Each structure stands twice: as C-alpha cells, then as structure tokens.
C-alpha cells in the first residue's frame, strides 16, 4: 500500500487538546494515519514514501459540517432576508416542490461537495430528499457523508406520506450498506412537520436498525409558540415524552433552550448541531452554546443549507461560533480558539458516532486531513497557529485535502470531481429555476 509523508510547518492534531507539533511528519498508508512523528524519524523509516512538502502550511483534521442540506446549493440566493417560516412556506418549499428530483439532488450535492472540499470540509451530516442521489454524489466525489433520510407528513414529488418516506429511507440504507464513506440517519424534519405517531415509528426503527436520528429542534420562537398552541408543551417536552431523547439524537439548532432543557439534553447525551450564520440570517436567534457546552453537551458546528447561510464555509462558521459565544455570554473567555476547533472537528465526529475514525489526527484514524497555507498577509506573523485557524484564516487558504488517505484537492485543484462540469451544471439549473418561478418580492 502506498505511503505518503506530509511535511508541514505545523500539525494541529486536535487531540491532545492545545497541541501544536513542529518538525513533525504525518504519515499516511492507504486510508489511515500510521505515524505522527519527528520528521527525521519518518523519513528514515519510510524511505520509499511519496514526500509532500508543505513548508508554510498547517495540517489539521478535516472539518465536519454537522448540519446541512447539500443540494440546496442550487437555491442559494433564491430567497433571502426572511424569517424561517415565510422563507420555507412562501419560497423554498414551493421551489423544492417544482424542481427537486434525483437529478437536482445529485447535481446540487456535487456542487456542495466541491465547495466543502475546497473549504476544508471532509465530512457532512446531510438531510434532504432523494437520499440515494445524495449518497451517489458523495461516492462519486470520494466525500464522507452521513445521509439524513428526511421524513415528514406532507407529500412532495419524492414521497407521498410519512410511510413512503420511511420505506424509501430503509431501501436506500440497504442499497448502500458496505460503502465506507457513507452512513445513514433517520431525519424527521422538525416537530412541526412530523406527527407523534411518526416520531414513535422512527424511534422504534432507529432502535432496531441502530441508526441515529437527526432533526431540526427549537430553531425559532415561532416553533415553540406553535407547539404550545397545538400540544400545550414546548417541542422538547413533547419529544421527551415520545421517547426521542432516549435515541442517539443530533438536534440541529437548539437556539431556544432554557436552563432545565439544557440539563435534560446533557443528561440524555443529546448532540447539538449549532448553525450560527443561518440562525442569524433567518433571525432565529443566538443559541446559548457556552451554557450548553458548560453543561457537558457535545456541540458541533453546521452551516445549514446554502439557501439560508448562504455559504458552506466551516472556517467562517467556526469563527462566528466563537465570537457569538463571547458576545452572548459577556465573557471573552467563552469558546476559546481550541474549543471552537474541537467543535468543528472532533465534536462533529462524536455526534456522528465516528469519533474513533475521524475528527483528529491520531495514529489508526482515517486520514481525513487538510492543509492551509498560512504564508499570507492575514496570517503572518504566526505566534499560535490554533489562534490563526479560528480567528484569522479563511477557507481560500486551504490548499490540499485528503479524505480516507486520498488526495481529493491538490494545490487548490479538485482531484475527485470535474469542477468545470460542476459549474456548468449549476448554471444549467439556474436557467431552469429562473424560468419557472417568479423572483422573490419581500
């Protein structure tokens, strides 16, 4: 099996915490990291390895986007400056109802993967329709993905009712069993689109099939008000009564959480996907992540879809998460750089049950690795590369990306997808979508 020796200026492994190695090499054999050791030792131990010199670069684990709707890249900029429910009801759901197909999802997911890889993201936790097309796009581009098989009550061109969504989810999971880069979750969309009976069925299936659940929860104040009106309780209380918090659960957003809800989430081991930019843009609010983290909750970071963010940029998201936490808690020590980096990497891996495989640069783990060139005006001088990665660097500094040991991005060029083709497909969809739907009028 071929061996690659990566020789960067700095290695930030994330585990152990706060660590920065200099004069060290990361050695990859096949899909795994086999050594992280002094450069001289690595060079003498693996004399016939391929040497990859990265003299101005920091190496770190690939970022894990813990909540996104990849195919929504094709609706980026389609409807902006609206609150969540108007954005969904008046613009996004009608557009999805008209356009979403296998082809739309395959092409949109590939476009998202092109953006994510170039920005240093090596894995995402997706939630969308046409699950098979999502999985195929990831396999085609050698990208690591957790495919969230969405389930809701209302009909779409993809499925006619909750039973139909569930049937399709299970068939899809069966089809892709054995794919190393792909795993599945059951993804009830949200408390306001899924009935008690369907939640119960999902909980039973998740238990039987050992699948995690991925759901939007407590995203907006309207969601809470709607639940109080319809069920007499806040959504989390309803979900707890149904038993959802006893399953492995990734709760996307969790913007509105009381002290007792935070304690409950911590007790139940619920993972939170924090989406700061989307929460701000839809004016959903600012999640109290410093309180959530202090309670011991595993909080990772997501971008949400490109139609509400409008970027799939985990460097921007990580920086925003750290800054907002300080502002929200009146405490500059809240979410220090090392913790923001953990949220974007190992915490995401833990939420996906992949903490033994990815999320840090450790011997035996999969080589999901990114290199950033810090020899740029905005990142020099460099006293502390961890500080720069969180507060100063941006995604355009990502030069090289490996997923499971494969170089999918080399010297700023995609290796696992035809970028020109991806761009021209995006333009093709723009033409189709523009022709069919009147533009937004606020």
Ligand X SMILES: CSC[C@H]1O[C@@H](n2cnc3c(O)ncnc32)[C@H](O)[C@@H]1O
Cβ nearer to ligand X, comparing 284 with 366: 284
Cβ nearer to ligand X, comparing 219 with 317: 219
Contacts of 29 (CB under 8 A, 6+ apart): 1, 2, 3, 4, 405
Task: With contacts defined by CB under 6 A, name the span among 25-33, 42-50, 207-215, 304-312 that binds ligand X.
Answer: 304-312
Is 219 annotated as ligand-binding?
A: yes
Cβ nearer to ligand X, comparing 96 with 107: 96
User: The tokens of 6 are what?
Assistant: 């990566």
Task: With contacts defined by CB under 6 A, name the span among 42-50, 51-59, 124-132, 261-269 that binds ligand X.
Answer: 124-132
- Cα–Cα distance, 380 to 382 (Å, whole number): 5
Q: Which DSSP letter does residue 44 get?
A: H
Task: Decide if 342 contacts 14 (C-beta within 8 A).
Answer: yes
96 binds Zn ion (CB under 5 A): no
Task: List C-alpha distances in Å: 51 to 24, 43, 156, 317, 416.
Answer: 13, 9, 51, 32, 21
Residues between 232 and 271 with contacts to ligand X, criterion CB under 6 A? none
Helices 162-175 + 196-209 axis angle, to 10 = 20
**Residues 247-286, mask of contacts with Zn ion (x by CB under 5 A):** ----------------------------------------
Residue 70 binds which entry of Zn ion, ligand X, none, CB below 5-8 Å type-dependent: none
3-class SS at 384? coil
Helix (H) or strand (E) holding 21: strand 21-22
The stretches of 8-126 forming alpha helices (DSSP H) are 39-45, 84-86, 93-99, 102-118
What's the min distance (Å) between Cβ of 276 and ligand X?
A: 12
What's the min distance (Å) between Cβ of 73 and ligand X?
A: 12
What's the min distance (Å) between Cβ of 328 and ligand X?
A: 19
- Cα–Cα distance, 430 to 128 (Å, whole number): 20
The stretches of 245-370 forming alpha helices (DSSP H) are 259-268, 276-281, 289-294, 314-329, 337-344, 346-351
3-class SS at 100? coil
Task: List C-alpha distances in Å: 405 to 55, 143, 334, 380.
Answer: 20, 11, 34, 29
3-class SS at 330? coil
104 binds ligand X (CB under 6 A): no
Residues between 163 and 192 with contacts to ligand X, criterion CB under 6 A? 189-190
Q: Of residues 69, 238, 256, 274, which one binds ligand X by CB under 6 A?
A: 69
Is 189 annotated as ligand-binding?
A: yes
Is 67 annotated as ligand-binding?
A: yes
**Residues 206-225, mask of contacts with ligand X (x by CB under 6 A):** ----------x--x------
User: 21 forms bridges with which residues in the sheet?
Assistant: 11
- Name the nearest CA neighbour of 106 among 425, 416, 436: 425
What's the min distance (Å) between Cβ of 131 and ligand X?
A: 10
Q: Tell me phi and psi for residue 296, to 5 degrees.
A: 100, 10
304 binds Zn ion (CB under 5 A): yes
Residue 82 binds which entry of ligand X, Zn ion, none, CB below 5-8 Å type-dependent: none
Residue 352 binds which entry of ligand X, Zn ion, none, CB below 5-8 Å type-dependent: none
Cβ nearer to ligand X, comparing 409 with 429: 429
Residue 96 binds which entry of ligand X, Zn ion, none, CB below 5-8 Å type-dependent: ligand X
Q: Of residues 121, 185, 257, 308, which one binds ligand X by CB under 6 A?
A: 308
Residue 417 binds which entry of ligand X, Zn ion, none, CB below 5-8 Å type-dependent: none
- Name the nearest CA neighbour of 158 among 132, 139, 184: 132
Burial class for 160, CB neighbours closer than 10 Å (0-12, 13-18, 19+): exposed
92 binds ligand X (CB under 6 A): yes
Is 412 annotated as ligand-binding?
A: no
Residues in the annotated binding site for Zn(2+) = 67, 69, 216, 304
Which residues belong to the annotated binding site for substrate? 96, 189, 219, 304
Q: Enumerate binding residues for Zn ion (CB under 5 A).
A: 304
Binding site for ligand X (CB under 6 A): 69, 84, 88, 92, 96, 127-129, 150, 152, 189-190, 216, 219, 278, 304-305, 308
């Amino acid at each position: 099996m071929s061996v690659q020796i990566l020789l960067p200026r700095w290695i930030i492994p994330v585990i152990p915490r706060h660590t920065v190695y200099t004069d060290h090499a990361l050695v990859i054999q096949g899909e795994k990291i086999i050594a992280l050791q002094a450069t001289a030792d690595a060079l003498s131990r693996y004399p016939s390895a391929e040497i990859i010199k990265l003299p101005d670069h920091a190496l770190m684990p690939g970022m894990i986007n813990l909540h996104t709707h990849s195919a929504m890249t094709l609706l980026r900029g389609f409807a902006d400056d609206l609150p969540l429910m108007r954005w969904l009801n008046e613009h996004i759901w009608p557009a999805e109802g008209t356009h979403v197909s296998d082809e739309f999802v395959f092409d949109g997911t590939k476009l998202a993967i092109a953006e994510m890889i170039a920005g240093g993201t090596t894995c995402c936790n997706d939630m969308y329709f046409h699950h098979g097309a999502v999985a195929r796009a990831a396999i085609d581009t050698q990208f690591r993905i957790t495919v969230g098989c969405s389930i809701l009550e209302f009909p779409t061109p993809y499925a006619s009712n909750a039973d139909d969504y569930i049937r399709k989810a299970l068939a899809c999971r069966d089809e892709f069993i054995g794919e190393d880069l792909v795993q599945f979750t059951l993804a009830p969309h949200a408390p306001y689109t899924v009935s008690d009976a369907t939640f119960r069925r999902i909980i039973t299936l998740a238990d039987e099939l050992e699948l995690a659940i991925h759901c939007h929860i407590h995203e907006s104040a309207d969601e809470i008000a709607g639940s109080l009106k319809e069920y007499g309780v806040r959504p989390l209380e309803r979900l707890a009564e149904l038993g959802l918090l006893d399953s492995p659960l990734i709760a996307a957003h969790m913007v509105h959480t009381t002290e007792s809800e935070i304690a409950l989430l911590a007790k139940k081991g619920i993972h939170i996907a924090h989406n700061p930019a989307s929460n701000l843009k839809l004016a959903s609010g600012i999640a109290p992540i410093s309180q959530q983290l202090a309670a011991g909750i595993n909080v990772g970071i997501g971008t949400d879809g490109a139609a509400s963010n409008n970027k799939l940029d985990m460097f921007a998201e990580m920086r925003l998460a750290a800054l907002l936490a300080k502002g929200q808690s009146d405490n500059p020590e809240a979410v220090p750089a090392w913790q923001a980096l953990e949220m974007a990497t190992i915490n995401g891996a833990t939420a996906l049950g992949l903490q033994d495989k990815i999320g840090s640069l450790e011997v035996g783990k999969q080589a999901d690795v990114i290199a950033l060139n810090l020899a740029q005006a905005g990142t020099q001088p460099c006293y502390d590369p961890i500080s720069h990665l969180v507060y100063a660097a941006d995604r355009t500094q990502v030069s090289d990306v490996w997923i499971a040991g494969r170089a999918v991005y080399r010297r700023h060029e995609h290796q696992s997808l035809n970028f020109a083709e991806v761009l021209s497909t995006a333009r093709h969809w723009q033409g189709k979508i523009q022709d069919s739907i009147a533009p937004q009028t606020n």
